[in-house]
Amino acid sequence: MRETTDILISGGGVAGLTAACALGSAGFRVICVDPALPVTSDEADGADLRTTAFLQPSIPVLQGAGLWPRLEPHAAALQVMRIIDAGGAEPIARLTRDFDARDISDQPFGWNLPNWLLRREMVARLEELANVSFRPGIGFSRMLVRESEALVTLTDGTRIAAHLVIGADGRQSPVREALGIGAKTCRYGQKALAFAVAHDLPHGNVSTEVHRKGGPFTLVPLPDRDGRPASAVVWMESGPEVARLVALPVSDFEAEMTARSSGILGQLRLISRRSVWPIISQIADRMSGQRSVLLAEAAHVVPPIGAQGLNMSLADLACLLSLVEKHRDDPGVAAVTEAYHRRRHWEVRARVTGIDLLNRASMAEARPLRDLRARALDLLYSTKPVRQTLMRAGLGLGAVGAGTDPS
């Protein structure tokens, strides 16, 4: 037997679940499949212990998806992005520059939330949407694309005729592969450690990147934990260094991370497990095929710098929503898939290139390069219009436009 739907989403990660909530809230019939079960508690095996800083332009997308009222009570606001260069002889802060959201807006830059909690609230939201069927434990297997529809076969043998297929199935995207779309990948030999810490000094809603070598050490505010200030940490280093750090006894690890943070929040205490993430850059050659589009890491992967990854994915989703709204009867027509590729690919390319450069600068080992990096930061910061342009571009509000069609 064959089922029919407006939209089939392959992938129930944070991006696929958000897309299911948003497109379901917009009234489309949606089926979302994922072979993995969503882990919705921080203590469960396989919990995603990373956090996501949602930047300003992502909030309307979450509001439209009916998610923001559920998420806002758990979010920590990010008012200042602090960049510290600690690339001198000793691991101490030798240059500190604050990018304050007040310079460009009356709102904070963004709001930070744990990924496992996002999944919990997204799955709960899907239960309110009668027109969305979320099927964890079942994956996308293959598809046959025709002029009028895409015929998808799932891993349990179910066959689904969909107007539009969304590949939100991660960096190895099976949908991308089924479409024959290639991807360019850059490996840095780097990994990221993600974990949570409590600290003596309050974070004051300041998100801080400390640059020395190997990649940034980033502290992002969390709500207080058991009455103590807390932050999420992403610590990027070479693969072998991360393997060494993750194997350290907790007290040694705490001493090393406190030193690496240049002591800016006082003594850091580990309050979660340590999870390890490989770091790559990747961009798909195209963002769409016939009757299908690629979303989020299926289309683009960036190192976790400046909270760009999932925010780019929500910009993909905002663009897709604006296009399918105009083609409610058939959201998979070429007018949607082609315009989506044209509008998103150039911007995604620009961001992937920019973040690649920032990552390489942060990895610099040699002292002269580290000194150059500090001088460049100082120069970019010192002129207010340049500083404001950088902040707006980082948020996706300014220089790099949000979804306008350059063609």
Residues that bind ligand FAD (CB under 6 A): 10-16, 33-36, 50, 52-53, 139-140, 168-170, 174, 192, 194, 234, 277, 296-297, 304, 307-311, 313
Give whichever of 286 and 374 is closer to ligand FAD, judged by the CB atom. Answer: 286
Q: Which residue is nearest to ligand FAD (CB)?
A: 13
Give whichever of 333 and 355 is closer to ligand FAD, judged by the CB atom. Answer: 355
Least distance in angstroms from the C-beta of 307 to ligand FAD? 4
Q: How far apart are CA 241 and CA 238, in angstroms?
A: 5
Give whichever of 170 and 333 is closer to ligand FAD, judged by the CB atom. Answer: 170
Give whichever of 308 and 362 is closer to ligand FAD, judged by the CB atom. Answer: 308
Cα 396 to Cα 64, 75, 308, 371, distances in angstroms: 18, 20, 9, 29
Nearest alpha-carbon partner for 403 in 331, 323, 344, 334: 344
Least distance in angstroms from the C-beta of 321 to ligand FAD? 17
Residue 328: burial class (beta carbons within 10 Å; 0-12, 13-18, 19+): exposed
Copy the structure tokens of residue 5.
């739907």
Q: How far apart are CA 287 and CA 300, in angstroms?
A: 9
User: Which residue's structure tokens are 């332009």?
Assistant: 57
Q: How far apart are CA 292 and CA 11, in angstroms?
A: 14
Copy the structure tokens of residue 367.
């002292």
Provide φ and ψ at 70, rounded to 5°: -75, -30
Q: How many residues does the chain have?
A: 407
Instruction: Provide the 3-class DSSP secondary structure of residue 196.
Output: strand
Least distance in angstroms from the C-beta of 148 to ligand FAD? 23
**Inter-axis angle of helices 14-25 and 309-324, nearest 10:** 30
Least distance in angstroms from the C-beta of 182 to ligand FAD? 18
Copy the structure tokens of residue 364.
């610099």
- Say how many C-beta atoms besides its own lie within 10 A of residue 153's C-beta: 15
CB 48 within 8 A of CB 197: no
Q: How far apart are CA 270 and CA 52, in angstroms?
A: 19
Least distance in angstroms from the C-beta of 51 to ligand FAD? 6
Give whichever of 216 and 333 is closer to ligand FAD, judged by the CB atom. Answer: 216
Q: How far apart are CA 97 and CA 316, in angstroms?
A: 31
Give whichever of 15 and 374 is closer to ligand FAD, judged by the CB atom. Answer: 15
Least distance in angstroms from the C-beta of 155 to ligand FAD? 7
User: Which residue's structure tokens are 């897709």?
Assistant: 320
Least distance in angstroms from the C-beta of 169 to ligand FAD? 4
Give whichever of 306 and 333 is closer to ligand FAD, judged by the CB atom. Answer: 306
Give whichever of 7 and 53 is closer to ligand FAD, judged by the CB atom. Answer: 53
Least distance in angstroms from the C-beta of 329 to ligand FAD? 26
Least distance in angstroms from the C-beta of 205 to ligand FAD? 15
Give whichever of 52 and 333 is closer to ligand FAD, judged by the CB atom. Answer: 52
